[in-house]
Amino acid sequence: MNRSFHKVRPSVHRVYSVKEVLKLYSICRNTLSNWVKDGLAPSDARRPQVFQGSELKRFHGENRKRKSTRLAQGEFKCLSCKYPVFPCKEDLEQVRLSSGPVLGKAICPDCRGPISKLLSATECNRLDDNTNPTTQLDSKDESIGEPQRCLGTIERMHHTNIHLLNDRVIHVWQQYAGRYDPKTVAQHLQAIRDFEDFLAGACFKKLTPMTVSDYRKDLMAKLETGKLMTSTVTHRASFVRSFLTWLGTQPGYKSLDATLSDYLDLPKSVLARSKRTKDKSFPDQEHALQMVAAMPDKTILDRRDRAMVACAFLTGLRASALITLPIDCVDLAKRTVLQDGRRMKAKNGKTYQICFFPEWEACEVIFTEWINELNRLGASPTGPVFPKQDDLLMPDLLGGEVRFMRTPKALCRAFSRASKAIGQSYSPHRARDTLAAQGSKICHTMRAHKAWSMNLGHEDIRTTEQYYGAPTDTERQAVIENLNAPQDAAADRGDLDLILDYNDHHVPRGTPEFERAQRLIEERRRNR
């Protein structure tokens, strides 16, 4: 069993069932029962038990503090689970060593591992004087020595402010939210806990429109004073609203006012007074190619980092998907990459085929050379395109099991070093903005825009237009100033193709292209 409990970090906002706690800490059911006896508090007295993440964190935090304290009379430190324990008297054995001291041997009541300790003369005398076989070592000394340390619930409730009344219904919501990405669930839970803290831990069954309205006012006040950003306030209100909508359908909560969620609608005037967000900075195609060209290629690690940056601009893969890309998902002959949601850390588990974006031949050459180098080293087809640094520095391991990166830290460092060549600092995700901006310049038909958007993994072209590659203030001003310049033949041909797409009902309603097509048609009618 894994006894490194200090390495386990439960989510403080989450509620865990017994089975989830056993899996999280890799322990058995008896160990969890002992934890409850030692002061770990379940959320309520009902069965099956549930435990709040903040309570698990508190319990193990106090246990870690006990490790650094001096042992009490009759207390042993277990070398297996690393915690101070009081052994059962019937398990304790005294052995006098040839050198004189007395060695106490027993069994840890938690992990059942052997424990031992050199006993002082005082401890030996107390053990010899004790004739009651049911009296344990932790209750012998009532007047001398350190007081017994306890991790009971009374001490916990005195020192912390943990709300437990709603844990069981929140745990039910977690099962409902299993369809979401774990990061999304964590954000929802943070908003729900913030709402619960505002209610001072009151039961959700007592919710009224007035309390929900007061929470909305509190969010608006924090927005006005600058304590929270507009994005945070908007998302919290949205997450709590969806939770209240779900809560009203649950047994025991159906008597709640059906309009509770409506009281979280934020006024547009408050959001409009918030500070305008800064322009998103990303490299254009020319600067991106300069970034890749400036990267070194002397060592195998340098070539891996350079290939990662080149692959980001060539395929538009997100960071998590790029570091988990297997070799057999790359087809250099067809110039495609398969994002396999079953094997890669893809957003929403999406699977689709990516064609190499045009006009990135320099990145394609670098990426192809890296794949060929891996094949020469004997890399497995199911292995990673971008192995971890430790495995990469030992080429003999490339024919065996090679590990994928767990985090995109190496990719972020590679982008940081590459962007310094042009005096900037860009994250890997900015490559998608570069590709979106490039597509808006070279795609002259609605069909081309749609294909470009799908190659970025977007089903709806409006997603690409709304969130990626938006022009900065400087670029927008330059475009507006050039509107009076004579239009070339290519632009006229693009307008004609747009009108044809509009007449064939290939332009989605509500998009900028749809509105532009209507203006062009109306202008042609006026000219006639």
Domain annotation covers residue 523:
yes
Domain boundary among 226, 242, 272: 272
Domain boundary among 94, 127, 160: 160
Same domain, residue pair 251 and 390: no
pLDDT of residue 183: 87
pLDDT of residue 122: 73
**Do 159 and 55 form a contact (C-beta atoms < 8 A)?**
no
pLDDT of residue 1: 41
**Do 53 and 43 form a contact (C-beta atoms < 8 A)?**
no
Q: Going along 348-432, which residue ranges are E strands?
A: 352-355
Residue by residue, DSSP assigns 311-335 as: HHHHH---HHHHHT-BGGGEETTTT
pLDDT of residue 142: 43
Domain annotation covers residue 279:
no
Domain annotation covers residue 277:
no
Same domain, residue pair 291 and 427: yes
Inter-helix orientation angle 361-376/285-293, to 10°: 30
DSSP 501: H
Domain annotation covers residue 438:
no
d(CA 298, CA 306): 11
Same domain, residue pair 406 and 454: no
Same domain, residue pair 251 and 263: yes
Domain that holds residue 466: 443-527
Domain annotation covers residue 83:
yes
Same domain, residue pair 264 and 302: no
pLDDT of residue 148: 42
pLDDT of residue 4: 59
Identify the CATH number of the domain in which residue 425 sits. 1.10.443.10
Same domain, residue pair 461 and 407: no
pLDDT of residue 246: 95
Domain count across the chain: 5
Sheet with strand 102-107: strands edge to edge: 93-96, 102-107, 114-119
The closest alpha carbon to 370, from 355, 392, 391, belongs to 392
Domain annotation covers residue 176:
yes
pLDDT truncated to tens, each residue of the chain (528 aa)?
445 566 788 999 999 999 999 999 988 999 899 889 888 999 998 999 999 999 999 988 887 776 666 777 777 877 776 677 777 777 788 888 877 788 888 888 777 778 887 877 777 776 665 544 444 555 444 434 444 444 333 333 334 467 889 999 999 999 999 888 888 999 999 999 999 999 999 999 999 999 999 999 999 999 888 898 888 999 999 999 999 999 999 999 999 999 999 999 988 776 665 545 556 789 999 999 999 999 999 999 999 999 999 999 999 999 999 999 999 999 999 999 999 999 999 888 899 999 999 999 999 999 999 999 998 888 888 999 999 888 887 655 555 578 899 999 999 999 999 999 899 999 999 999 999 999 988 888 888 889 999 999 998 888 888 888 777 777 777 767 766 655 555 456 677 777 878 887 778 887 878 888 888 888 777 766
Same domain, residue pair 175 and 31: no
Identify the CATH number of the domain in which residue 206 sits. 1.10.150
Same domain, residue pair 246 and 139: no
The closest alpha carbon to 193, from 232, 160, 166, 219, belongs to 166
Domain annotation covers residue 278:
no
Same domain, residue pair 339 and 257: no
Same domain, residue pair 422 and 506: no
Q: Is the pTM of this model over 0.75?
A: no
Domain boundary among 160, 181, 216: 160
pLDDT of residue 141: 46
d(CA 474, CA 485): 18
Domain annotation covers residue 437:
no
Same domain, residue pair 261 and 195: yes
Same domain, residue pair 63 and 88: no
